[in-house]
A and B are shown apart, each in its own frame.
Chain A
Amino acid sequence: MRDTIPPQARVQTGVPQATRRRTPGGPIALLMLAPFLIAYLLFFVFPIGRAVQLSLTQSSLTETGPFVGLTNYVQLAGDPDFWASVLHTGQFALYTVIPVTLLGMLMALAVNRLVRARNFAQALFFLPFVLPVSVVTLLWQWILNSSFGLVHNLFGTDIAWFGEPTTAMPMVALVTVWWTVGFNMLLFLAGLQNISREVYEAAQLDGAQGWTAFRTITWPLLWPVTTLVLTLQLISSLKIFAQVYILTGGGPFNSTQVVLQYMYNTAFQNLDAGYASAIAVAFFLIILLVSLMQAALLRGRS
């Protein structure tokens, strides 16, 4: 739930005037808000401040150490492992974001045409998305197993797909595309259903069919969903961790180590929570920057 941002949901903060007199509200509102607010402060707001504070110290995983100012950030700026992890994360985003968007749109267009088999086809494409990440990785480790897997049997390959520097990241991306594309298909399907029949009928009278109809009607009217999908995908691809961790462990030769994994290793293996917190703050800034850039870019285009 936390991953999704509803950019279009309506927010009304209007004050219902008629009931104002009857509801001083204060105490009851406080009681109703209290459980959420306490949890929110304790497990969300407090950790935000703490992450920033820890990033300015030299701390272990459980003990807060001395204040060192911006030392961690200076070190981070010149840390080749960190920049490599940023590069790998970008690589993963590059391999996944456009494919899942395009493929999701194509699937939605194909499924949307169906009448009777529609729910069935939708389920076939969507089902992988509801699976836990480790079910997905087990499945693909089996299919891509270099001596007994399906791909080996069909094509006679004996490549250790997740163990070669050239194939590891593309394969992690491929598995991720298979796993998550159904969700984008769902969003595009909802978008397609919002386009009324009459628009197409009117276009048909003007002779617009097939590709022309897609280019002049479907594509522009799907643009809001497309921007939503691109935004959600880019941000979620920057948060990549589990698939890489399980499938490659960051290897071979650190060639797939991503930002979150570098943060995890620094904090929980090297027990350097101060430096890891600086990575966490940098990670947040990257996400913020990318979201802002993307928002500006997409607004410019629409």
Chain B
Amino acid sequence: MTGHGNRTWAAVATGSTLLLGALWAFPLLWAVLTALKTEEQAVAQPVQWLPTTPTFTAFRDVLTLGDLPRWFLNSALTSLVITLATVVLAALAAYAFSQLQFRGKNILFWVFLAGIMVPFEALLIPLFRLMNDLGSVNTYAGIILPQIVSPVAVYVFKGFFDQVPKEIREAAVVDGASEWRILWNVFVPLSGTVLWAIGIVTFIAAWNNFLWPFIITTSPEMMTIPLGLTQVQDAYGLRFARTMATAVLGGLPVVLAYLIFQRRVTEGFLTVTGVKG
């Protein structure tokens, strides 16, 4: 192949990749376009591709008329607490497993690794009963507690802590620093990338979790975004601009998180899957 032919071929390949990408992401654009229309325009036949006079009426309506703001609050609150608790619990446990010596350490570590095999979905009934016994059905505690246990986060943290050179901890020990200080002042600052990775992936997973909030919430005002959004089609009926405005707003936080932290999000998923250490 000639250099010129190569370049043409490369341009065609690039062009078709971008075209396919645009096509792939088109449903997202279509949701935004619909949300900016009036209800009449949204269902106009033949289809009106662009909103003739873009309007935020649908957005205003769903933010003032329904439970959407409340679901946002519930999702933000529970996701942030879950993320914080997961990271703190996992970092503490991983430090102990990685840096400290105690009897039964290896057995304990393997026992809890074996737990990764058990799918959360198989535990829904006993977890619901437990929450019921604790009086936590339809409460924030009920939504949050089962989601803070992440063996994978411990595993990833431990993998990182294991690779910190021994000398670093030894120097701190010689200086007379306590284990808590070493963890907080040495290991936590060192683990920036891993910390972000686990934090962002946990946040997105918590924000998007459907099954557990679905089981544990019983009233609309305790619902999180993924759950609440399933209610709106019934509530709005054939109001498609409103329905799409709700969908757009419901997806906005995670889309923004992705666009702002693109590199960290992808790194996070790769780290947690074990593709990248």
Contact = CB atoms under 8 A, between A and B. Distances in A.
A143 B265 CA distance: 28
Nearest to A26: B102
Contacts of B118: 44, 48, 284
B275 A187 contact: yes
Given A142-B243, A153-B46, A110 B152 contact: no
A276 B70 CA distance: 33
A217 interface: no
A54 B20 contact: no
B277 A9 contact: yes
A4 B273 contact: yes
B259 interface: yes
A131 B119 contact: no
B273 A153 contact: no
Interface residues of B, number: 121
B140 to A, nearest CB: 15
B30 A178 contact: no
Interface residues of A, number: 108
A48 B117 CA distance: 11
Nearest to A291: B117
A235 B145 CA distance: 24
A120 B262 CA distance: 10
A51 B93 contact: no
B173 A10 contact: no
A191 B100 contact: no
Interface string A181-206: 00100110011000000000000000
Interface string A170-188: 0000000010000100110
**Best-surrounded residue of B88, B101, B120 (most CB of chain A within 10 A):** B101
Contact of B166 (A13, A16, A139, A154): A16
B222 to A, nearest CB: 16
Which of A44, A120, A130, A246 is most buried by chain B, counting CB atoms within 10 A of its CB?
A130
A141 interface: yes
B17 to A, nearest CB: 4
Interface stretch (A34-42, A69-77, A90-98, A159-167): A34-42
A123 B226 CA distance: 22
Given A39-B89, A183-B269, A280-B124, A1 B201 contact: yes
A153 B124 CA distance: 42
Nearest to B86: A1
Interface SS, B side: helix
A283 B100 contact: no
Contact of A134 (B99, B240, B250): B250
Given A19-B169, A178-B27, A187-B270, A246 B99 contact: no
Contact of B251 (A22, A131, A267): A131
Given A186-B266, A283-B121, A22 B229 contact: no
Interface string B147-191: 011111111101100110010011001000001100100000000
Nearest to A13: B106
Interface in B43-94: 43, 45-47, 86, 88-90, 92-93
Contact of B152 (A1, A13, A143, A225): A1
Q: Which of B129, B169, B198, B277 has the most CB of A within 10 A?
A: B129
A32 to B, nearest CB: 4
Given A1-B205, A13-B109, A133-B210, A284 B119 contact: yes
Given A26-B103, A135-B251, A138-B229, A46 B126 contact: yes
Contact of B27 (A11, A29, A139, A273): A139
A40 B273 contact: no
A273 to B, nearest CB: 5
**Could you say which of A10, A24, A131 has the most chain B C-beta atoms within 10 Å of its C-beta?**
A131
B89 A36 contact: yes
A66 to B, nearest CB: 17
A50 interface: yes
Contacts of A183: 269
Interface string A266-280: 011000010011001
11 contacts: A1-B205, A4-B273, A5-B116, A18-B170, A19-B170, A46-B126, A130-B255, A134-B230, A148-B240, A264-B215, A284-B122
Interface of A: 1-16, 18-20, 22-26, 28-30, 32-33, 35-37, 39-40, 42-48, 50-51, 54, 61-62, 110-111, 113-114, 117, 119-128, 130-135, 137-143, 145, 148, 150, 153-154, 178, 183, 186-187, 190-191, 225, 228, 232, 235, 239, 241-242, 246, 260, 263-264, 267-268, 273, 276-277, 280-281, 283-284, 287-288, 291
